[in-house]
Structure 1
């Protein structure tokens, strides 16, 4: 449990979360670990009051309560989002109005942590977090499945009223904490993708060893060996960047964290699609059937690609993190890199 011991967690960090997510990916375990522990639980751990931590974290650790972070709204083509939900103060109450989309784990959550604009001064926006009960009558919701079968929730906040005890952290100062937990979630979702890719590669290799053509196993044909090796190389490159991102995702240095996480997600997106496509093609006609277990892993990989920013979004984020010269080869495929050499 990557939550501080002071809050009731086990004091783990990125590497521990990576190991957990990698194994969840290998078995396609659809548990709200990222949504409830990494995102929402991370926010409570980072900026919650002592009372909020004492109430929420023990429930989370014991599995008696589920949290969900409601932040995403209108997404652009690259995975970014603009915050339009507002929170207006009336006396000692706050009134929340707006929409939230693609709330991970929202369909089963007991409480939402909602981000909202509480101040807008020119180009500067003050963002505040609020704890909202999921059963509030002024919240409308629509749950639906993603491509991999996991369910997300769109919610409508119709003048939801909360008191000062529901404010999580300091008013107008939530954005750095949101960026932090989003980076953590991105890093661990890459670890899940790594586990999925490992299983896909194992399935493909087993098929090549057992399927025979022209009197020989498919694994004996050199052209297929080369394609299997390309899959393996991409997976190992992802492993290296995921380990690096996991080590930096819990860092207080936001610059290092951003670069490590964006590099890992950009490479994971591209490598994941390559591994999925190669696996389907190397399985031949069987690879196109939904009955094959491979299909479930491919769908999960494609779903992960759409979460927390596209490859293009992450590449731009990586490049804009500072004006220093960076190693662009991290975004070049092994084949192109070999040609450059």
Structure 2
């Protein structure tokens, strides 16, 4: 047997880069589909625009989009005289939520916290806080909690979108996608922020289909990888659903020779969570904690529309796994030189799967 060398070990520092602060987008392009698009193919980088997407895809391809809706998940609360900030993270059902809490050390199991700005809205702390994470019981009245969030909650913008006085009124619309239907996310699936009615009409006229899945993006999407070995990082679980209708459309597209194009890392992660060895996907409803690093063998997705991601983030590692690390390094260097806009409100990239050199 030939003696093949082992691939070099993964290091978090391999996914670091310097980004000029002025390239962090503070508002979306207007109109949304006026954003730029960097095409990252096997042998080229091409500067295009989001409006070119129909021409870059082929009739018979299928876009898979995420219909999650961002909720006003950031709350101010009190336990007695102590003020705390709550970021709802994931619903467990029956009014119980996992939440990230600032000043969590002030909480104990059994404490009652009162939500400021929403009279009568309280939550019971179910467990002792662990690393800033707490389980809160708001009671079974989901309509009352939804009303309290609308009354007192704030859209949880990412920390790199700076607002001196908190989210603006415009952010409530800007930070929702055109596909948003199912409430539950605390961060937007940002690749979908580029879509408009006119772009969807152009895609349909080109013969490009669309299927919808749901993944409720959690606050863990903002957490950096702190371990030198990224495999030591633990990713938060998120709730997702693939309906029987979506699974059938995806499988039919693949059987007919069309490509599956994930709109955003959330759609990609969902499909890779439910794909079999042959690439077929199954209907599913439940939690996924899939963590994709270079070396992952992709089964369900052929192309990925995504934004530009943070240094040392799990999402940068995911796109490096999908399109190969060396290609993504070149793409990000090009994007910085050409003044692309980065992160949630920024420009997009269209990546094609790299099936060779999976370790990058």
Query: Which category describes the TM-score, using the shorter chain as reference length?
Result: under 0.3
**Normalized per residue, which structure has more helix?**
1
| Higher relative contact order (CA closer than 8 Å, sequence separation 6+) | 2
**Normalized per residue, which structure has more strand?**
2
- Normalising by structure 1, we get a TM-score of 0.26
